[in-house]
Structure 1
Amino acid sequence: MAAALQRLKDSREEGMLELIEEIISQLLGCEEYALFAVEEDGQRLVPVAAMGLSLERFHALLVPQGIVGQVARHGVQYIVGRTSSIGAGPHEVGMTACIPLISRRQVMGVLVLFRMLPQKRGINEEDLELMDLLSERGVAALVPRPKGVVVPRAPVLPPPFVADPGGVRTVYLEPGGLVAAARPTEVTTILGSCVAVCLWDEQLHVGGVNHFLLPSALVGQQPGGRHGDAAIPMLLRELERMGSQRKNLRAKLFGGAHMAGPPVPGAKPGLGQRNAELARQMLEELGIPILATDLGGGSGRKLRFRTDDGTALIKLLGAG
């Protein structure tokens, strides 16, 4: 939490959008959001980024009415259960928060948050502190103003593929998801304390990647893609269905950052370290060699992974 606050304070325009997306998904625990620039005194919204919203709801938000319109005009934050919802439109049902992005006392944009992760139990004081800082610093994500139309990404498994002009499909991988592809695909994801295991078959030139948040399920939870001890076997099974043999698979590991400030000497391993250790241990038990890692540290990462040749590129977030 402290590290995220400091990174928000230190970050400049470059990388701010990626940092905001990481904070929304990893720290605030939100699965559906939209970020808009505000123009013409709050009468027009320009989409900058979105995730998980239906196209119908997304397009309804483009017309600043209801709560979003009030926040865009007056710059007063909306928090469910803490702020009046009088005047909310039908498309705003389920809204968790609407945060004005303010510069020089003018509302330059709004960040709209909807559905939170199932284990998220309301908005706490740390969340409110993050939202206040997003309101103050998040305006940097709006510069330069966006061009074209932003279509909200949907957090589904597997994620939808989008063809680019070069013929390589691109996918944004949400936390708890996985992608396995038989044709050339570039997968992008944002990692904090989470870990991504990338597997590549050097014979068949197919591969995949997962993105898990916890080493294992908590008591009473159903194991799934959010848990490393389930997500790694799930990815392996998908590749084996494509004809891969375990002896031909190679692995790369990324993420596992310590997001709560510098580690305290003698303290128990943090979540990121536990995620990384779980991945290393399981791959060793499976007999899959690890060719490369970029783990730990105090910064989030943006990962780009090619399933056909195993190429992985990492960019540290908030690194200037």
Structure 2
Amino acid sequence: MAAALQRLDGTREDGVLEVVEEIISQLLGCEEYALFAVEEDGRRLLPVAAMGLSLERFQALMVPQGIVGQVARHGVAYLLGRTSSIGASPHELGMTACIPLVARRQVHGVLALFRMLPQKRGLNDEDLELLDLLSERGVPALAVRPRNVIIPSTPVASAPLAGELVGVRTVYLEPGGLVAAARPTEVTTILGSCVAVCLWDEQLRMGGVNHFLLPSVLEGQQPSGRHGESAIPMLLKELERLGSQRQHLRAKVFGGAHMAGPPPPGAKPGLGQRNAEVARRLLEGLGIPILAEDLGGSAGRKLRFRTDDGTALIKMLGKG
């Protein structure tokens, strides 16, 4: 909580949205959400950011009705299991929370949260504190509009969006996912303690990237893209399916931050460090050289990776 508050208060206005998105995905553990700016006293919603929602559902949420409309007009948060869902619209099924972004007693935005990470068992007290923080300090995130909202589960438009590179697909990679592409693709993701392994085939000029949250499978869990020990072999398998040979692959590794601030001397390795270590260990075992890495620290990162030329760009979140 303290780290999130520090990040929000210490970030310039044009970087607040990235911090808000990181809090949603990394600290709250939400995989599907939509953020809207509110105008005309709650009668109009403008898109600001989204992740994981289908285009149909996202467009339905833009109509200020149901829970979203009530929050936009009255500024009273909805929390699953704690407040009434009377009046909810069909497309709001599965909503975990909907909070207003408020400044000077006026509602400026609405954040709707849907699917959470599987290990989440509802909203705990720390989650509620983070939601209160976003409600009270999140308004500057709305200042970046207009912007293109990338919804990962929708088909790519045949014509490029404004600002999109012609002939290059753009994808937002959510936690636990991976992208392997033979066609030119720019992949964007937000990393905290998570790690992204980027693999590039220098012969075929194609590549892919994953985004894992945990180094290994915990007891009672099934191996998935959320775990480094399975996410890295999964990415390799997808690239080999597209024709890559292991000896032609090169790696770049990013993330692994200690989000609670620098660890004290002698402390056990944190989650971010353990994620980084499993990436290095597995890549070494596979014989895939690491050409570049940016790991550790106490700040999140925004990664942009091009699958066709292996270019990786990192922006530290919370920096100017």
Preserved CA contact (<8 Å) 1:215 1:278:
yes
**CA separation of 1:267 and 1:208: change in aligned 2, threshold 3 A:** same
In the other structure, the counterpart of 1:300 is 300
> How far off its partner does 1:165 sit?
4.7
Describe the superposition over 1:253-310 as per-residue Cα deviations: whole angstroms up to 9, x where unpaired: 0000001222122221100000000000111111111111100001110101111221
In the other structure, the counterpart of 1:50 is 50
In the other structure, the counterpart of 1:152 is 151
How far apart in 2 are the matches of 1:290 and 1:160? Answer: 32
Matched, 1:142 2:146: no
How far apart in 1 are the matches of 2:78 and 2:11? Answer: 25
Preserved CA contact (<8 Å) 2:150 2:171:
no
In the other structure, the counterpart of 2:272 is 272
CA root-mean-square deviation: 1.7
Other structure's SS at 2:215 match: coil
> How far off its partner does 1:140 sit?
0.7
How far apart in 1 are the matches of 2:152 and 2:288? Answer: 32
Task: Output the amino acid matched with 1:222.
Answer: Q
Matched, 1:8 2:8: yes
* Count of residue pairs the alignment pairs up: 315
How far apart in 1 are the matches of 2:124 and 2:35? Answer: 22
Other structure's SS at 1:56 match: helix
> How far off its partner does 1:160 sit?
5.0
How far apart in 2 are the matches of 1:141 and 1:119? Answer: 28
5 Å matches for 1:1-320?
1-146=1-146, 150=149, 152-154=151-153, 160-161=155-156, 164-320=164-320
> How far off its partner does 1:232 sit?
0.7
Unmatched 5+ stretches in structure 2:
none
How far apart in 2 are the matches of 1:151 and 1:178? Answer: 16
Preserved CA contact (<8 Å) 1:2 1:261:
no
Preserved CA contact (<8 Å) 2:79 2:97:
yes
Preserved CA contact (<8 Å) 2:172 2:187:
yes
> How far off its partner does 1:98 sit?
1.0
**CA separation of 1:56 and 1:207: change in aligned 2, threshold 3 A:** closer
Point out the more displaced range, 102-111 or 240-249.
240-249
> How far off its partner does 1:143 sit?
0.8
Other structure's SS at 1:15 match: helix
> How far off its partner does 1:151 sit?
6.0
**CA separation of 1:65 and 1:160: change in aligned 2, threshold 3 A:** closer
Task: Output the amino acid matched with 1:152.
Answer: I
How far apart in 1 are the matches of 2:150 and 2:238? Answer: 28
TM-score, normalization: structure 2? Answer: 0.93
How far apart in 2 are the matches of 1:270 and 1:160? Answer: 37
User: Could you tell me the percent identity over the aligned residues?
Assistant: 81
Point out the more displaced range, 45-54 or 119-128.
45-54
How far apart in 2 are the matches of 1:3 and 1:100? Answer: 22
Preserved CA contact (<8 Å) 1:210 1:231:
yes
